[in-house]
Amino acid sequence: MPVYMEEKEKQWEKVEDPGREMVVAKRVSFEAAHYLPNYPGKCAQMHGHHFVIELAVRGSVQENGMVVDFTVLKEFLAYIVDKLDHSLLNDTIPNPTAENICLYIEKGWLDDDWGQGLCRLAYIKVWETEDSYALLGL
């Protein structure tokens, strides 16, 4: 191997940086119906959406090279989707706007300490349509 390539290889050996702050995220989708009570427009009528949730956490890179195992995010989002998928969201969230769905997800994360002391929520995004979402930045 040429000398300059050996130097490049050595640079990559230094990539790991335990303790460095990072954000990691996971995205899932689900189908559900809802209506917006006391809303003056057509969204007051029951209708459905293909919702997308993106959950991001922030924390220090651990000795294993991860902030948190993606499996933790996957399991939490599966727990949320299990409650909301193919449901009438109003049965769970009285006024199920994208903003209130974000708050519902935040409460679920915080109530059960899904971050295991390793990470904290960075943001939650809930897309109601392909080009419309609410962002709860923390």
- Stated pTM of the model: 0.87
With cut-offs at 50, 70 and 90, classify the pLDDT of residue 117.
confident
pLDDT digit string, tens, across residues 2-13: 655 566 566 555
Q: In total, how many domains does the chain have? A: 1
pLDDT digit string, tens, across residues 61-90: 998 999 999 999 999 999 999 999 999 999
Helix, strand, coil shares, percent, the chain, to 5: 35, 35, 35
CATH at 132:
3.30.479.10
pLDDT digit string, tens, across residues 85-116: 999 999 999 999 999 999 999 999 999 989 88
Locus of tokens 């989002």? 77
Of residues 106 and 18, which shows the higher confidence score? 106
Which structural domain, as residue segments, surrounds residue 94?
16-137
Q: Are 87 and 103 in contact (CB under 8 A)?
A: no
Is 8 within a domain?
no
Hey, which residues are catalytic here? 43, 86, 128
Q: Report the interhelical angle of 98-111 vs 70-84 (nearest 10°).
A: 120
